[in-house]
Amino acid sequence: MSEGIIVVPMPKWGLSMTEGTIVEWMVEEGDEISAGEEIVEIETSKITNVYEAAVSGKLRRITMAEGDTAPIGAMMGIVADDSVSDDEIDAFIEEFEKEFAVLVAAMEAEAALEPEIVEAGGRSMRYLRMGPVVAEGEEEKSEGDPVLLLHGFGGDLNNWMFNQPALAENHIVYALDLPGHGGSSKDVGAGDIATMSDAVIAFMDALGLQKVHLAGHSMGGAVALDVALKHGDRIGSVSLVCSAGLGAEINGDYLSGFVNAAKRKDLKLVAQQLFADESLVTRDLLDDLLKFKRIDGVQDALQTMLKGMFDGGNQALVLADRISELGMPVQAIWGAEDRIVPVAHAEAIPKAQRHVLDGAGHMVHLEKAADVNRLLGEIISSS
């Protein structure tokens, strides 16, 4: 978020609320509002209620008129002081709407699909498949080879929830839970990158995927690199998102902190390091992480991977000097404020294929989803 600009969002009242309609604004643009002040009346499918301002300041913009309906989280207005120019507010609104459109598409697609399980290489592997929407009775069509998305350490296929739906508009896209993560088997073997890359190839074989475009985040980036180096004829392109595998340095305190955190308070301090905007670490996000960490076998798997990939707080596998061996297009996408993997590691990738995005941290594909989706789409289409 731009400094000094605060969004007044469509609230969520109750589990079943998905959208709201503006009934009446009780304030006007330019008014000074106070935290707790009733500023707008909103109607939902179950109730009409008055929204109280969460912050104090000047209501510089009202972006939803009376009678407008929008999903939860949509921008109703903007609070900012006079030091923020109208041009800055205009640019902020444009960027917010672009990112919010990605979020809405992700929520709609996620609600309609369920992950599947396949047996691959002696392991159960969970994955989510998305593709272009077609009318009933029509044959599914997509552009080129499918896309395979690989998450990072401690993540799962849901880490791509803002990216998979956008890519699936033109491509068949698979998001995979790597061994030890999500709904996949907790057998991680030696806990090293080679184990993960072997599992990726086994997954491709099990689904009959002869060739894919790979996008890997963090640990998943190192896995993507290893797969591409070993099985280059089966990879169309490689996108490395805040990737491991390009240098020895990594935030070892974060990794050990994540593995050892057992309470929400401790996990919050760790998870906040993933984002430039720490407010994105919500209670729901923390609850999901804790739920994952409490699954049988997960803690042992994390400990094994921590030792196998990042023993001593450094990366065990560094492939930067082998980038020139890759026979397919490769790009790096990084958040300028990444506190987990140094942004300098992106320099292993040629400058023309290196993209560093301001206002984002290690989870750049969540914080700057629209930009990352554009870059992923471009390399996939071009190759």
Q: Which domain does 17 fall in, by range?
A: 5-109
233 and 92, same domain (yes or no): no
**Average pLDDT value over all residues in the chain:** 91
CA distances from 245 to 168, 216, 222 (A): 27, 11, 5
pLDDT at 365: 94
Residue 2's CB: how many other CB atoms inside 10 A?
A: 14
The pLDDT of residue 135 is 46
pLDDT at 102: 80
Mention every residue, 6+ apart, whose C-beta is less than 8 A from residue 137.
Answer: none
18 or 320, which is more confident = 320
Same domain, 238 and 124: yes
Does residue 57 surpass a pLDDT of 50? yes
Greatest mean pLDDT range, 49-58, 94-103, 261-270: 261-270
Question: Does 117 or 279 have the greater pLDDT score?
Answer: 117
The answer on 352 and 225 residing in a single domain is yes
Q: How many domains does the chain fold into?
A: 2
Query: What pLDDT band is residue 282 in, cutting at 50, 70 and 90?
Result: confident
β-strand pairing of 75-80 with 48-52 = unpaired
Under the banding of pLDDT at 50, 70 and 90, the label for residue 36 is confident
**The pLDDT of residue 136:** 47
Reported as a single tens digit per residue, the pLDDT across 91-111 is 999 999 888 888 777 666 656
Sequence-separated contacts (24+) of 286-290 with Cβ below 8 Å:
288/158, 289/154, 290/264
User: 164 versus 12: which is more confidently predicted?
Assistant: 164
What's 251's domain CATH number?
Answer: 3.40.50.1820
| b/e code 126-165 from CB counts within 10 Å (16+ = b) | bbbbbbeeeeeeeeeebeebbbbbbbbbbbbbbbbbbbbb
> Which residues does residue 80 pair with via DSSP β-bridges, in sequence order?
5
Taking the C-alpha atoms of residue 305 and residue 177, their distance in angstroms, rounded to an integer, is 15
Co-location of 102 and 129 in the same domain: no
Give CA angle at 285 (284, 291), nearest 5°.
85
The predicted pLDDT at position 258 comes to 97
Confidence band (pLDDT; 50, 70, 90) for 279? confident
Q: Any idea how long the chain is?
A: 383
pLDDT at 1: 44
Q: What is the mean pLDDT of residues 196-201?
A: 98
Does residue 293 share a domain with residue 177? yes
> For residue 15, is pLDDT > 60?
no
Closest C-alpha among 244, 252, 255 to residue 222: 244
Question: What pLDDT was estimated at residue 369?
Answer: 86
Bridge partners, 331 (sequence order): 239
Q: Kindly state whether residues 99 and 146 are assigned to the same domain.
A: no
- The per-residue DSSP string of 52-119 comes to EPSS-EEEEEE-S-TT-EEETT-EEEEEE-TTS-HHHHHHHHHHHHHHHHHHHHHHHHHHH---EEEE
- Per the CB < 8 A criterion, the answer to whether 166 and 369 are in contact is yes
Q: Count the neighbouring beta carbons within 10 Å of the beta carbon of residue 34.
A: 11
pLDDT (0 to 100) of residue 169:
86
Please report the pLDDT score of residue 111 as a whole number: 61
Q: Which residues contact 72 (CB under 8 A, 6 or more apart)?
A: 9, 10, 11, 12, 17, 18, 19, 20
pLDDT tens for each residue of 313-353: 999 999 999 999 999 999 999 999 999 999 999 999 999 99
Judge if 103 and 223 occupy the same domain. Answer: no
Question: What whole-number distance in Å separates Cα of residue 344 and Cα of residue 286?
Answer: 29
Nearest by Cα to 1 from 86, 93, 71, 67: 93
pLDDT of residue 142: 64
User: pLDDT-derived band of residue 14, with 50, 70 and 90 as boundaries?
Assistant: low
Helix 86-112 and helix 369-382, axial crossing angle in degrees, nearest 10? 70
Residues 197 and 228 in one domain: yes
Using one digit for the tens of pLDDT, what is the confidence trace for 183-197?
A: 999 999 999 999 999
Residue 88 pLDDT greater than 70, yes or no: yes
Q: Dihedral through CA 267, CA 268, CA 271, CA 275, nearest 10?
A: 180
pLDDT of 300: 97
What's the one-letter identity of residue 382? S
Stronger pLDDT, 162 or 215, i.e. the higher one:
215
Q: Specify whether 158 is located in the same domain as 300.
A: yes
Mark whether 362 and 220 lie in a shared domain.
yes
Phi, psi of 176 (to 5 degrees): -115, 140
Q: What's the mean pLDDT in 258-284?
A: 91
**Chain segment 126-172, per-residue pLDDT in tens:** 999 998 864 444 555 566 899 999 999 999 999 998 898 889 989 99
Residues 196 and 295 grouped into a single domain: yes
What is the C-alpha to C-alpha distance for residues 175 and 369, in angstroms, rounded to an integer? 16
* Two structure tokens written together for 171: 């491509």
Residue 28 maps to which CATH number? 2.40.50.100
Q: What is the pLDDT of residue 126?
A: 97
Mean pLDDT of 348-359: 95
Q: What CA–CA distance (Å, rounded) separates 160 from 25?
A: 36
> Above 70 in pLDDT, residue 112?
no
Contact 196, 219 (CB under 8 A): yes
The more confident residue out of 13 and 84 is: 84
Check whether 7 has a pLDDT greater than 80: yes
R_g of the chain, CA atoms, integer Å: 22
Under the banding of pLDDT at 50, 70 and 90, the label for residue 11 is: confident
Same domain flag for 162 and 90? no
The amino acid at 374: R
